[in-house]
Structure 1
Amino acid sequence: MITLPWEDPFSDERVTVPLIFTTARRGALKRATFDGKSWRPAVEAAGIVPTRATGMHALRHFYASALLDAGESIKALAAYLGHSDPGFTLRVYTHLMPASEERTRNAIDSLFDSAAGETRP
C-alpha cells in the first residue's frame, strides 16, 4: 500500500491504494531495484546497449508523450509528473509520437472538407 495525494499532487488530502508492482515482500519497488533486476536485463536481452536513451528515464518520456498523444492536457500531465510549472513539462516532454503527423493531416483535411461541405468516412 502507498499513501499519496491523489488527483491534486499539492493537496493535503491523502489516499491509500495498493501498489501494482511490488518487491517479493510486497513492499514498494524502488527504481534502482527495478532498473537493475528487470529493466536493464530486458534491454540487454533485446540486444540493446544500455544507455541513458534506453534507460528508465526514457519510460518517463514515453509515458508523457503517450498521454499527450492521447489528448491529455499539459496542465494535467504536469501534475501527474510532479511539475509545478506546466511550461517546463511542455518544453521537456513534447516528443512527437508516430501518429501525430497523420492526426494533424486528418484534422486539417477535415477542416477543409467541412468548409467545402464534404465529409470523410
Structure 2
Amino acid sequence: MSISPDQLTDPAVRAFVTAVNAGDRAAVFAVLTPDAAMSDDGSDRDVQQWTDKEIFSSEGHMDIESQSDDGRALVVNYRNSTWGEMRTAWRFVVDGAGRISRFETGQA
C-alpha cells in the first residue's frame, strides 16, 4: 500500500514529490535551492540534466512505499517511460529555509 504525497511529513519533500508526479518543472525547482546537488546510485549528477532525463522527458512518477527520518528518507516505487518501474531509496537534505539543498536516489 502506498502513502499519499499529502501524508508526507516534511513539507519540502511533500512539495517535491507532488511536483514530480504532476510533471511540474517550475514547482520542482521552486522547492530546490539554487545550488541544489544530487546523486544517483552514488554518483553526483547535474540536477538540471538528470531531472530533464529521468523525470520530465520520461514522465517520472513516485509511489511512496514508506518514509522515515521525519519524512526526509523515502522508499519509492519509481517509474518512468525509460526504465519502467524500480524500487528506489531517496534521501533529502532540507535547509533552514525549508528548501531541498541535496537529494540522493538509488536502488533500494
TM-score, normalised with respect to structure 1 = 0.24
Whichever of the two has the greater Rg, that structure is 1
